[in-house]
Amino acid sequence: MARLLRAATWGLFPWRDYCSRATQAEVSKDFVEALKAVVGTPHVSTASVVRAQHGQDESKHRCRPPDAVVWPQNVDQVSQVAALCYSQGVPIIPFGTGTGLEGGVCAVQGGICVNLTHMDRILELKPEDFCVVVQPGVTRKTLNTYLRDSGLWFPVDPGADASLCGMAATGASGTNAVRYGTMRENVLNLEVVLPDGRLLHTAGQGRYFRVPALAFWPQVPHHVIWPLTYLVFPGTRKSAAGYNLTGLFVGSEGTLGLITATTLRLHPLPEVTMAATCAFPTVQAAVDTTVHILQAAVPVARIEFLDEVTMDACNRYSKLNCSVAPTLFLEFHGSGQALAEQVQQAEEIAQHNGASHFSWAKEAEERSQLWAARHNAWYAILALQPGCKGYSTDVCVPISRLPEIMVQTKEDLKASGLTGAIVGHVGDGNFHCILLINPDDSEELQRVEAFAKQLGRRALALHGTCTGEHGIGLGKRQLLQEEVGTVGIETMRQLKATLDPRGLMNPGKVL
Amino acid sequence: MARLLRAATWGLFPWRDYCSRATQAEVSKDFVEALKAVVGTPHVSTASVVRAQHGQDESKHRCRPPDAVVWPQNVDQVSQVAALCYSQGVPIIPFGTGTGLEGGVCAVQGGICVNLTHMDRILELKPEDFCVVVQPGVTRKTLNTYLRDSGLWFPVDPGADASLCGMAATGASGTNAVRYGTMRENVLNLEVVLPDGRLLHTAGQGRYFRVPALAFWPQVPHHVIWPLTYLVFPGTRKSAAGYNLTGLFVGSEGTLGLITATTLRLHPLPEVTMAATCAFPTVQAAVDTTVHILQAAVPVARIEFLDEVTMDACNRYSKLNCSVAPTLFLEFHGSGQALAEQVQQAEEIAQHNGASHFSWAKEAEERSQLWAARHNAWYAILALQPGCKGYSTDVCVPISRLPEIMVQTKEDLKASGLTGAIVGHVGDGNFHCILLINPDDSEELQRVEAFAKQLGRRALALHGTCTGEHGIGLGKRQLLQEEVGTVGIETMRQLKATLDPRGLMNPGKVL
């Protein structure tokens, strides 16, 4: 309901200039009928509110909605839908939870949105091999709830309760990446439907098993789920077998194929977890502390920065009572003794940089409250100016350059007259400047874009990247060119043209 | 000298069937003169002993040698050599230290070998960002010697003192991968010369700086090294900017381009290191211990298995006095207190599985002796039958399947009548069966190949891979097809055809 309401409201927000450049690909009635024949009539919609809802994510990017939305029930149907679109030249936009931040689901050239959330089964858990196979409808919170009694967890945590296959498509990361890596390091295998409908397993073939009775029952309509169809992916921790196709599809943002299952690496739940907040007199002191903690090789699990604007917003929104000052949120994972050492080292470094005392949250409940506040920072900041929309920058720089770029960004923010706050996964050198935009003020929108582009260029000049985890989507294509250079862009274009020769997979994104 | 001698001896070993299928690409005198004009006369050789030396690695694979060998002095020369070969349709085989194990340097279709070892500078060390940029002539031991006083190290360790860019090309790993990952996780950026000579930076552009005086001195011959030419690579720990080109080139075995520099992730030297050996009554007990240690989430840095044949060979070759029994070599890295906990847990698990007591090697010297013995296991096993050559299998399976496949392999080895030993990076599910081959016995060679293929297929049936770290090269192309399936192979072929349209980069390898 909240979704639909938001869709309806945000629909007023002006569409972006991409629309003018878009080629029209409105689908015919016959085509919609053909889709219905594949996935079943209840699983296709051309209702305008549904299309509007699927044509946008949580970003400022607005575009024309898709011409139709389909909900396949299994991978065979995804494959048939792709083959149908391929034969008719209709663009495909994969859709998970719609929590992206770079306009990745906008239907720049029309076409159909393939909503994969009905494929929501956890296909196989192999606790002894530390891996799990999930379909695109499984979100990270669902998975971690499912894993609760297994002694394992999946640590990649971008804040939003995103679909795990969507996270693979975006190359997401988040608060735990400093210790556990990003999706790049935690995806072991992908099942991908290629643009022409063929099925690819990026790191070894899946093996299908069907209930024999059903396998001999060809009359079953396509949209009936085979109850015991499942696939087994290899779960080796390493491989040197041919080109790393998994690596190529992780972070490809739906532009090379549709991810219909992923094998993820799981990690043992830490024996003990301790979380703390620590306020600093200046941004510089907080960021210096981060750099020193990393350089001292303290294995922190999370080290997050929130500036005083964010802390103020979080206090109001999440009913906290923290100091309104640049603050680090830290978390340590380990066994009892190891943890005591880590904590002591971190405290010493923070105090050396002028921090006030650590405020510890050892109990699970207190900890969840703290991290819930961190995860809700986006909504807390939006709530500072009701009616505003948010835009988040996403630069990432080598850790040694972090203090200078953050201090400079803070000053630029003041000078720009924009309202914004800074939060960051500073352990990776990655931070976000969350800017508030009045949807009716096109001049402000331009200032926000200029600010974001300037910040991206500053990161590049410091040998950083314009995006640590949100991806390129629609908004950073110019910066990507500057980042990877002519040969880099040409190489990416060649790869795209090879794997998606008709240019139908999520057109207009990344390149 | 040892190299040359080996080359001369091994030359007698029968060439493989690949030669018959090879198209001839003998280079003309004019072409050799053109190469000399690029890299300078002293840096081109067509001497038969030099060519023979460059046409083979440490494996059983033998093939025709390259038609010429060139030693470029800098990346500009590599680029010019590639462009020249591209225009003339001459194959290129990149060469590092020649320590590969799958025939990756064999000149299946003739062409020129590009020996990159003269480019041997450490271009930039950024200790505060935990990264370093190295040229292809820098080996892992050279790098770690250079890093000695920095408090950092590069942990990926395949045993041989391989070139770091060669390790990137192979997707190498080794004894520390269980804790620190493989080359896939530790390469941050690559400088690659593409087949037509263009320069690609896989994760952000490098920036060149030249001494102005020299930059205005165009008469300097190409083979004079610009003394202050260096490049700065971005060193961010994560990125979501476009397709992961770094991941595509790591493990591509020289078939997509020439790696001329790599940015590597460094790790803090552990505060304390402890190593131990522990003998077991059976293979099953040793492997069960490995699985239980991993499942208990003990963060071992190394956990290596050596069977009783290997232990016997190591005792003789490295003058050790260990039990001749299935043995685990373990290493723990950490701070004092954390280490004590890890060690206690591991000991309890081992004893529960019937191990005799741990033999600890706390002192650095004793530890080096132990790991030197492990690294020399290949030569120790070869020394069991002087005059024999070795062949190493390289399967990797999900950790839970490791006990059954290793016990079965041990039995198969006995039944086959072949002489062989098992060693393995069991913490990753990866193990090697090192088989001894009499070079004059073609029937034995066939039995070895049949054994290796059967083992590869058994690993695939257990959802494993035919190669954990040695790569596909010449020997595992059939197994790769079975592993990734028709669509996987087609996709890899498409990528190869796109990036190397004339098929000149290390032809006949991988695909």
pLDDT tens, position by position, A207-228: 544 434 344 444 444 333 343 4
Residue A323, CA distances (Å) to A320, A374, B21, B428 in order: 9, 14, 74, 46
Residue B220, pLDDT > 60, answer no
Tell me the shortest Cα–Cα distance from B172 to chain A, in angstroms: 8
Residue B102, pLDDT > 80, answer yes
The reply to whether A484 touches chain B by the CB within 8 Å rule is yes
Q: What is the rounded CA–CA span in Å between residue B113 and residue B165?
A: 16
When pLDDT is averaged across residues A250-269 and rounded to a whole number, the result is 96
* Residue B186, pLDDT score: 96
The pair of structure tokens assigned to B373 is: 């013995």
Residue B71, pLDDT > 60, answer yes
* Residue A232, pLDDT score: 52
Q: Count how many Cα atoms sit within 13 Å of the Cα of residue B448 in the half-sphere of its side chain.
A: 25
Tell me the pLDDT tens digit for each residue of A119-141.
Answer: 999 999 999 899 999 999 999 99
Which residue, among B79, B54, B81, B78, has the nearest Cα to B65 in the 3D structure? B54
- Torsion angle of alpha carbons A178, A183, A188, A193, nearest 10°? 180
Q: Are A164 and A145 in contact (CB under 8 A)?
A: no
When pLDDT is averaged across residues A89-108 and rounded to a whole number, the result is 95
Which CATH entry fits the domain spanning B122-268: 3.40.50.720, 3.90.1210.10, 3.30.465.10, 3.40.640.10?
Answer: 3.30.465.10
Nearest to B247 among A240, A244, A398 (CB): A244
Question: Testing the interface with A: which of B185, B243, B250, B400 to mutate, by most A Cβ within 10 A?
Answer: B243
Residues of A with Cβ-Cβ distance to B468 under 8 angstroms: 236, 238-240
* Residue A231, pLDDT score: 54
Query: What average pLDDT is seen over chain B?
Result: 88
Q: Which residues contact B217 (CB under 8 A, 6 or more apart)?
A: none
Q: Are A456 and A395 in contact (CB under 8 A)?
A: yes
When pLDDT is averaged across residues B207-229 and rounded to a whole number, the result is 41
Question: Is CATH 3.40.5.90 what the domain over A2-115 is classified as, yes or no?
Answer: no
When pLDDT is averaged across residues A114-121 and rounded to a whole number, the result is 97
Q: Which residues contact A496 (CB under 8 A, 6 or more apart)?
A: A255, A256, A503, A510, A511, B243
Tell me the pLDDT tens digit for each residue of B500-509.
Answer: 999 999 999 9
Report residue B340's pLDDT band, with 50, 70 and 90 as the boundaries.
confident
Report residue A62's pLDDT band, with 50, 70 and 90 as the boundaries.
confident
Question: Testing the interface with A: which of B238, B335, B392, B405 to mutate, by most A Cβ within 10 A?
Answer: B238
pLDDT: which is higher, A346 or A20: A346
Report residue A360's pLDDT band, with 50, 70 and 90 as the boundaries.
confident
How many residues make up chain A in this entry? Answer: 511
Residue B385, pLDDT > 80, answer yes
Q: Count how many Cα atoms sit within 13 Å of the Cα of residue B30 in the half-sphere of its side chain.
A: 2
Nearest to A236 among B464, B496, B510 (CB): B464
The conformation of residue A89, written as its DSSP 8-state character, comes to T
Q: Which residues pair with residue A328 across a beta bridge?
A: A278, A305
Nearest to B430 among A238, A268, A489 (CB): A238
Which residue, among B253, B168, B199, B163, has the nearest Cα to B80 in the 3D structure? B199
Residue B108, pLDDT > 60, answer yes
* Residue B34, pLDDT score: 97
The reply to whether B464 touches chain A by the CB within 8 Å rule is yes
* Residue A356, pLDDT score: 84
Q: Hey, do A270-384 and A385-473 end up sharing a CATH topology, with the first three levels equal? A: yes
Which of A404-418, B65-79, B205-219 tops mean pLDDT?
A: B65-79
Report residue A450's pLDDT band, with 50, 70 and 90 as the boundaries.
very high
Residue A3, pLDDT > 50, answer no
* Domain ranges (residues) in chain A: 2-115, 122-268, 270-384, 385-473
Tell me the shortest Cα–Cα distance from A480 to chain B, in angstroms: 6
* Residue A17, pLDDT score: 38
Tell me the pLDDT tens digit for each residue of B431-483.
Answer: 999 999 988 898 998 999 999 999 999 999 999 999 999 999 998 999 999 99
The reply to whether A480 touches chain B by the CB within 8 Å rule is yes
Residue A332, CA distances (Å) to A110, A338, A339, A352 in order: 46, 10, 7, 19
The nearest alpha carbon in chain A to B168 belongs to A240
State the CATH class of domain B270-384.
alpha beta
Residue B7, pLDDT > 60, answer no
Residue A194, pLDDT > 90, answer yes
The reply to whether B245 touches chain A by the CB within 8 Å rule is yes
H or E stretch at B341: helix B336-352
When pLDDT is averaged across residues B370-378 and rounded to a whole number, the result is 90
Residues of A with Cβ-Cβ distance to B464 under 8 angstroms: 234, 236
Residue A213, SS3 per DSSP: helix
Between A22-36, A319-333, B86-100, B368-382, the lowest mean confidence (pLDDT) is in A22-36
Between A239-248, B4-13, B450-459, the lowest mean confidence (pLDDT) is in B4-13
Tell me the pLDDT tens digit for each residue of A10-60.
Answer: 333 333 433 433 445 588 999 999 999 999 999 999 999 999 999 999 888
Report B:381-410 residues touching A (Cβ under 8 A). Answer: 394, 396-400
Which three-class secondary structure string do you get for A40-63?
CHHHEECCHHHHHHHCCCCCCCCC
Residue A358, pLDDT > 60, answer yes
Residue located via tokens 């060390």? B125
Architecture, CATH, for domain A385-473: 2-Layer Sandwich (3.30)
When pLDDT is averaged across residues B50-78 and rounded to a whole number, the result is 93
B297 and A243 within 8 Å at the Cβ level: the answer is no
* Residue A150, pLDDT score: 92
User: Number of A:B CB contacts under 8 A?
Assistant: 287
Nearest to B396 among A236, A469, A510 (CB): A236
Q: Are B468 and B395 in contact (CB under 8 A)?
A: yes
State the Cα angle at A498 between A496 and A499, rounded to 5°: 70
Residues of A with Cβ-Cβ distance to B397 under 8 angstroms: 236
Residue A278, pLDDT > 90, answer yes
Residue A185, pLDDT > 90, answer yes
When pLDDT is averaged across residues A324-336 and rounded to a whole number, the result is 91
* Residue A276, pLDDT score: 92
Q: What is the rounded CA–CA span in Å between residue A32 and residue B294?
A: 51
Residue type for A216, please? F
The reply to whether B200 touches chain A by the CB within 8 Å rule is yes
The reply to whether A337 touches chain B by the CB within 8 Å rule is yes
